[in-house]
A and B are shown apart, each in its own frame.
Chain A
Amino acid sequence: MSALELRGVGMVFNPGATNEVTAIESIDLEVSAGEFVSLIGPSGCGKSTLLRLVGDLLAPTSGEVRVNAKSPREARVDRDYGMVFQSATLLDWRTVLDNVALPLEIMDIPHSERESTAREMLELVQLGPFADHHPYELSGGMQQRVSIARALSFKPSLLLMDEPFGALDEMTRERMQMELLRIWQETETTVIFVTHSIPEAVFLSTRVVVMSPRPGRVSELIEVDLAQPREFETREDPRFYGLLTELREALRKVDL
């Protein structure tokens, strides 16, 4: 079964007004369960808009989005989405553990189960010892790991990530990428990942969607046939370089 299906999806902001903007136009895409798909493209290509359409934070003005054979709204109400934003969006007044437990609290999971699940998730992102700290005591990378743990805590089938590592330094970023892949394999979630970074898209994904701007469209799909699991050495693989070049060429084409 496909985890995500887009049929002729378009999004027009302020339709009919003088500031009308066509953010994306006639997008078709199908993502199978367990895939790791990156959306990449120049600024203004609508990749974040597309992610928000999938996550039911926006409604498309044309076409249809199906998530696990449901409407995005039904999927959201069924808690199919784990969202990770560019900023960690942690609640300052809650401890790390309580931040991870937030979605479970909202979903009325009993207290003891909530706590054990949240601890388990913190172990998964290797922040167990920081359970009782507050977000302000953590570095940016650690905060982002907390937000990933929080997104995974209720075992959503779809992880929607909007440039989650955009604000991190290169070394932290590479470490987080490894961690994300490990988690992806352990949890068997489907990931839709928005990024600006060519190496990040190649290293993480099973497939890369290249988008062109004004209006945002899918211009190319690139299969990433690197061996799984990806490792530190993957970045030194000649095939990795080959794919980097291929993706860079594809992006140059859409930017012209």
Chain B
Amino acid sequence: MNERVRRALPAVVLFVAALGVWEGFVRVTGIQGFILPAPSGIASAFVREWPVLRSAAIGTFGSALAGLAVGILLAVIVGLAAARWKAVREGVMPLAVAANSTPIVVLAPIAIAWFGLLSPWGTISVVAVLVFFPIMINLVRGLRSAPASHHELMQSYAAPRRQVLLKLQLPTALPYLFSAFKVAAALSLIGAIVKEYFGGSQDRLGQYITRKAGLFQFEQAWSAIVLASAFGVVLFVVIGLVERRVMSWHVSVRLRQ
């Protein structure tokens, strides 16, 4: 426990110091609230707005998580097929790259047109498209990264393909997958909020931020941003904890001890 506290200390100190500098800067310069609100102002807006924020956040985070789940599911299915068959790989990759290069700004109105303004599937589909690519790419790369000698070993046992996948390729792909999950977790929040920014239920963080910014209530807008970031950090930490449990054997985990 002591060790944990010691490791978390630099981050905590830096965070508190940054808040202090920020607060001091705003007070000394008397900079206007709509340009940069003070942390204390954001905190009090957060407390005041909590009931509204809470309800909006549940909707937004729910869509982000659902989109993440759908995206992961699709990416795993396509990734497995692409790692297995060269034709799939060659067929899917250009499409995946094209989909990945499409800005979400464009996806949002399309999703709204397809699923309707208030359907949660609009947000879910945008998030799913966004997280699909990094997960699929990393999974394919991970599945194909087992050394040739390990494949020869499996071959010498006349191991069926399913066994090679389960006992060699998937464990090899785990570090790649977890890296992708961390990237995808952040993307899922960005995707959900940007999509909501363009349209959707009022009871969502994206809409809340648009509304408050439009009213020049920047402290409230910032409090929603802080909430979204905090959730991003929580997701990242949870994925990291699962990673450490699942991959205790891996260098990246061992050397962190």
Contacts and interface: CB of A to CB of B under 8 A. Distances in A.
Given A105-B167, A106-B163, A93 B156 contact: no
A106 B156 CA distance: 11
Interface residues of B, number: 22
Interface centre among A57, A85, A93 (most CB of B within 10 A): A93
A106 B152 contact: no
B250 A57 contact: no
A91 interface: yes
A190 B249 CA distance: 35
Contact of B168 (A77, A91, A154): A91
Given A57-B152, A85-B149, A89-B150, A79 B157 contact: yes
B109 interface: no
A89 B163 contact: no
A106 B153 contact: no
A202 B248 CA distance: 43
B158 A89 contact: no
Given A85-B149, A106-B163, A91 B171 contact: yes
Contacts of B147: 89
Contacts of A92: 249-250
B155 A57 contact: yes
B247 interface: yes
Interface string B96-127: 00000000000000000000000000000000
Nearest to A107: B157
For B158, B168, B171, B254, the residue with the greatest tally of chain A CB atoms inside 10 Å of its CB is B158
Contact of A106 (B159, B249, B250, B254): B159
Interface in B135-166: 147, 149-150, 152-160, 163
Main secondary structure of the interface of B (DSSP, over half): helix
Interface string A37-58: 0000000000000000001110
Contacts of A79: 157-158
A134 B253 CA distance: 14
B256 to A, nearest CB: 14
B156 A102 contact: no
A106 B167 contact: yes
Nearest to B249: A93
A85 B250 CA distance: 22
Interface string B239-257: 0000000010111001000
A81 interface: yes
A92 B147 CA distance: 12
A103 interface: yes
B193 to A, nearest CB: 37
Contacts of B168: 91
A154 B156 CA distance: 12
Given A57-B155, A105-B167, A106-B163, A136 B249 contact: yes
Given A105-B167, A106-B163, A106-B167, A91 B156 contact: no
Nearest to A104: B157
A92 B251 CA distance: 10
B158 A77 contact: yes
From A82, A92, A134, residue with most partner B Cβ within 10 Å:
A92
A121 interface: no
Interface string A81-111: 1110101010111100000001101110000
A81 B156 contact: yes
Closest 3 CB pairs of A and B: A83-B156, A93-B249, A106-B159
Interface of A: 55-57, 76-77, 79, 81-83, 85, 87, 89, 91-94, 102-103, 105-107, 134, 136, 154
11 contacts: A55-B156, A79-B158, A83-B152, A91-B167, A91-B168, A102-B167, A105-B163, A106-B157, A106-B167, A134-B249, A136-B249
Given A56-B155, A82-B156, 12 more contacts: A57-B152, A76-B155, A79-B158, A85-B153, A91-B167, A92-B249, A92-B250, A94-B249, A105-B163, A106-B154, A106-B163, A154-B157
